[in-house]
Chains A and B, each alone.
Chain A
Amino acid sequence: MAPQESAPSAAEAESGFSRRTVLKGIGFGAAGIAAAPVLAACTGGSKPSSGGGSGGAVSKSVTVGSGSSDDVPKRAYQAVFDAFKAQSGDTVKVNTVPHNDFQNNINSYLQGSPDDVFTWFAGYRMRYYASKSLVAPIDDVWDSIGSNFSDALKQASTGDDGKKYFVPNYNYPWGYFYRKSLWASKGYQVPKTFDELKTLCAQMKKDGLIPIGFADKDGWPAMGTFDYINMRTNGYQFHVDLCAHKESWDQQKVKDVFDNWKALLPYQDPSALGATWQEAAQNLGKQKTGMYLLGSFVTQQFTDKKVLADIDFFAFPAMAVEGQDSVEAPIDGLMLTKKAANNQAAKDLLKFMGSGKGQDAYASIDTSNLQTAKDADTSKFNALNKKSADIIANAKHISQFFDRDALPAMANNVMIPALQKFIKDGSIDTKNLEAQAKSLYAAQ
């Protein structure tokens, strides 16, 4: 039944793979387990249909495949398409698919008869399909929207071949969230360094709090902590290279990450492995925990306005290198499928998404995320949004999230069990991680 099914859109990416619909699982479980790989195989054979469909320069219609199936993002995207329609006169047809299904079926979707435009994520997940030529490059779109985005965003939209494949819509930062009133009453100060963080945790423990809220029943949330400690210990480039398996897992640098993390383990919520992030968010709201590292979508859990106004966050403290230069801020946006490579209406829609006007239409409904275009209207931002935007704007490097920057199988099949074991008993077998990584990356 997956109680975590109600996760908001912003969490889709991280939680997506880990929240596969139960039905799907059951279907495969029931349908002769041995037959399952071939069901996947069936879809593998079909070649991408080239050029056909709604191609042609004169097209005035565009279809969109959307994985934003939750209520708020669904309405938000509809607002974008309505605004686009009003501006251009082109018709937009949306096919919304439950987000877990959308992500799980993306291989067969892109190879079958996809829509012209589809919702997707920056990072390895984008570059992978670009390198397999399942999506179309959109450099001509970027010629007109390029000036509207920072270099970090441009970099995040670029495939391995140097062409652009992705138009960002919004992003959101990860950080330590806390309740201002609690911290004020106890006199806690925002820690700037890792040592200060440890001291603060010790103090909180003394005060009867669980210092760090933590929830990893779903497996993916712990990757946020791993990413930050890795980037603060070894730098942004190491994170990227490790995720792409250009660096070995079986080396001292990786061991250092876990050694550093070990110092935090005694302060983490001991019931993490049985809790979802929603439950951990509730504990933060109830002031049972002192702080909680998560994406800013955590605020969607605080329905009480008073509590929501009392929430603030700080960037992950500095450790060994690069200070607080790197911020984890996953980007969601749109991509163009192979078959729509010549569909002008589809490209116009992507241009619109890359404009402040298009992104504002989205943000008018979904306020938990931040527009990425420079000319977007930020006057409606609340204090938390402003701070989020500042942190992202001042970041030298923007990482996605482990499961977006790395091979999905690595994140899903290797890291989840490994991190859960680490959280449980503080042990990690980097040699085994490397052995698994070698095998999985070779299969791509």
Chain B
Amino acid sequence: MSDLPLVGLPADTRPKRTVTASAGKSRKVRRLNGRDKLVLGFMVGIPTLIQAVFIWIPMLLSVALSFTRWNGLALSDIKSNGLQNYKFVVQDYPPFWPAVQHNIIWLAFLALVATPIGLLLAVLLDQKIKGSRIYQSIFFTPVMLSLVLVGIIWQLMYEKDNGLINNLLRTANTPHAIDWYGNSSINLWAALVAATWRHAGYIMVLYLAGLKGVDPSLKEAAAIDGATASQTFFRVVFPAMRPINIVVVVITIIEALRAFDIVYIINRGTNGLELISALIVQNLVGEGQVIGVGSALSVMLLVISLVPITIYLVRTFKKVD
């Protein structure tokens, strides 16, 4: 089964197709011959291998490394370090708790502001207004832009003396100019606005597909029963999009956990923009590499991420059963 928008296809087309297909080979299923086994083996084996090599093995090694101290040179330099890395992160590493806090704010903001905006856009554009396609493209563009461009665009908006916002506020080049990126009490919100700009477009597309899949007769029935437009939406249409809603919730949580790019572009996640993912990169990439600490941070993020992923998978598989 799939939770993807496809689910909205008219429900009766698929079983029919299956019937015609299986009617063609009504013969008794032969046992798999050697070649079939080989092909199947490849088809299952290669993805499994890729999965193992690129995800599972590195992940397990990361977990192992998080209990060690290592300078990244010879393997013989790896020294056991017990839980010291975790202790270091929690007790001695000043950016850690702000990062956790910022990730939570990030999640709350995406869930309470960005996602509803995406839903609103989708509902608006689902009406048969003129130029709907054009608006859709405009709102979806940020999702497709490369990060370099996103950075440049928001730099143009937020720059202290040359940026658009401060010039519109007429504070540019004055002592009152708002330091959007440098002031650690507002730069997180500036980054969240930029994140919303991308996230809303993404959510919008998902909901547009979802709305298209809702059976129009549901709306008509509601209208006949005398429901208002908002009642129709919140009591009938929105619950009917349940599969999409679940996907959106999962996507929102994942986006909040892996939020990284925008803060990294602004100032590499320092001075008020600390996020767990940015700390991981700082500790693992480049000369400032501290493999043990970086691994410990990644394991922590992994464990946090497992919670929503597990809930999602459990729900999905329940339905299959």
Contacts and interface: CB of A to CB of B under 8 A. Distances in A.
Interface of A: 1-3, 16-18, 20, 22, 24-26, 28-29, 32-41, 43-45, 47, 103-104, 106-107, 111, 125, 132, 134, 217-219, 271-275, 408-409, 411-413, 416-418, 420-421, 424, 429, 432, 435-436, 439-440, 442-444
A412 B92 contact: no
B286 A38 contact: no
B277 A33 contact: yes
Nearest to A410: B288
B147 A274 contact: no
Interface residues of B, number: 69
A273 B58 contact: no
Contact of A417 (B69, B265, B271, B292): B271
Q: Name the residue in B70, B88, B152, B288 with the highest tally of chain A Cβ atoms < 10 Å from its Cβ.
A: B288
A218 B271 CA distance: 10
B255 interface: no
Contacts of A274: 160, 179-183, 187
A118 to B, nearest CB: 15
B143 to A, nearest CB: 15
Contacts of A436: 88, 92-93
Contacts of A432: 92, 94
A34 B179 contact: no
Interface in B51-76: 54-55, 57-59, 61-62, 65-66, 69-75
Contacts of B72: 40-41, 43-44, 107
B277 A1 contact: no
Given A424-B271, A436-B92, 20 more contacts: A25-B264, A26-B260, A26-B261, A32-B59, A33-B258, A33-B277, A33-B298, A35-B55, A36-B298, A37-B295, A132-B71, A273-B179, A274-B179, A274-B182, A412-B286, A420-B270, A421-B94, A421-B271, A443-B69, A443-B293
B75 to A, nearest CB: 5
A172 B62 CA distance: 41
Contacts of A37: 58, 61-62, 65-66, 284, 291, 294-295, 298
Contacts of B261: 25-26, 29
Given A45-B75, A273-B184, A418 B94 contact: yes
A1 B94 contact: no
List of 6 A-B pairs having minimum Cβ-Cβ separation, nearest first: A274-B182, A412-B288, A1-B151, A35-B58, A104-B286, A408-B287
Interface string B180-215: 111110010000000000000000000000000000
B149 A1 contact: yes
B289 interface: yes
B84 interface: yes
Nearest to B279: A413
Contact of B92 (A29, A41, A111, A439): A439
B283 A413 contact: yes
Interface of B: 54-55, 57-59, 61-62, 65-66, 69-75, 84, 88, 91-95, 147-152, 155, 160, 177, 179-184, 187, 258, 260-261, 264-265, 267-268, 270-271, 277, 280-295, 298-299, 301-302
Contact of A409 (B148, B268, B290): B290
A25 B285 contact: yes
B270 A417 contact: yes
Given A274-B180, A443-B292, A22 B267 contact: no
Contact of B290 (A25, A43, A440): A440
Contact of B74 (A29, A44, A412, A424): A44
Nearest to B95: A417
Nearest to A1: B151
Contact of B271 (A34, A39, A273, A443): A273
Nearest to A412: B288
21 contacts: A20-B286, A22-B265, A34-B59, A36-B62, A36-B284, A37-B291, A37-B298, A38-B58, A47-B74, A217-B181, A218-B267, A271-B177, A273-B182, A274-B187, A408-B288, A409-B283, A412-B282, A413-B288, A435-B91, A436-B93, A443-B292
Contacts of A34: 58-59, 62, 298-299, 301-302
B55 to A, nearest CB: 6
A28 B283 CA distance: 12
B59 A443 contact: no
A1 B148 contact: yes
A436 B187 CA distance: 26
